[in-house]
Amino acid sequence: MIAKIRQWTPEVASLAVLSALAIFIRHYGDRADQYLTAPYLVSRYGDFVRNELTTLPFWKLFLPLQQIKGTWSTTGFLLNYFLESRLGPVPAHYVLVISSSVAFYALIRYALGSRMVALVGASFLLFSRYNLHIYIAPGSNNTYNLTLFASLLGIVGVRIWRHGVSPLRAVLFVLRLIAMASGSEVWFNAAMPRFGYGLRSPFFSGGAASRGSSHGLPSWVLRPLRS
């Protein structure tokens, strides 16, 4: 037990120092509080949040919501709204950045066994200038959700590859795959046909759909299918 603590202490300390430095830069250098001032769903879908979200049955939160672009956003927009409402937009952003970076570190550390490579990978996320884009488009915070759940999925995938499939690993793999799929709506919805009132990427809303393309998919996808 003591040997394991000694083994992991330098890694935990390194991640803690890097995370603290990243937060310091974003808070005092970027002044994130000047840009992230309200939960994304409140600023973009205020009427829905105030009048409908709290009245929805719990099970509906696990399905695509027509009021939010028709997207499947359980572990994306909705999870972020929960965090932002309780912690505040800025602390929630920091939690997403750090949690996704730690998960990415764990994936690289477990898959490759290299502490240095894992620290470089985590640093890439912690100090990425992608946050400048988030200040302009706060909804893009769900990219960190996607990274978090993709890393957790990767850890299970590596374990299955090394040790084979077990019932527990299979269940964890499916659950984390679902969590990753609903963490960021763009790639998933662009590849899926409409489900009920519609799964479609916001990049194509008002585009392919308004031009009469079926399933809410863009015409360049449907053209080869029709020929």
Q: What is the pLDDT of residues 157-204, one digit of tens each?
A: 999 999 999 999 999 999 999 899 888 766 555 555 444 444 443 433
Amino acid at 38: A
Question: Minimal CA–CA distance to 38: which of 135, 130, 182, 128?
Answer: 135
Considering only the C-alpha atoms of the chain, give the largest distance between any 2 of them, rounded to a whole number of Å: 66
Contact in structure between 105 and 152 (CB atoms under 8 Å): no
Question: Count of residues for the chain?
Answer: 227
209: in domain: no
Number of structural domains in the chain: 1
Could you tell me if residue 91 is inside a domain? yes
Q: Per the domain annotation, does 122 fall within a domain?
A: yes
105 domain residue, yes or no: yes
Its domain, for residue 142, covers 14-62+72-180
92 falls within a domain: yes
Q: Do 107 and 154 contact (CB within 8 A), yes or no?
A: yes
CB proximity list for 120: less than 8 A, separation 6 or greater: none
Domain contains 226 = no
In a domain, 220, yes or no: no
Question: pLDDT for 211-225, tens place per residue?
Answer: 333 334 444 433 443
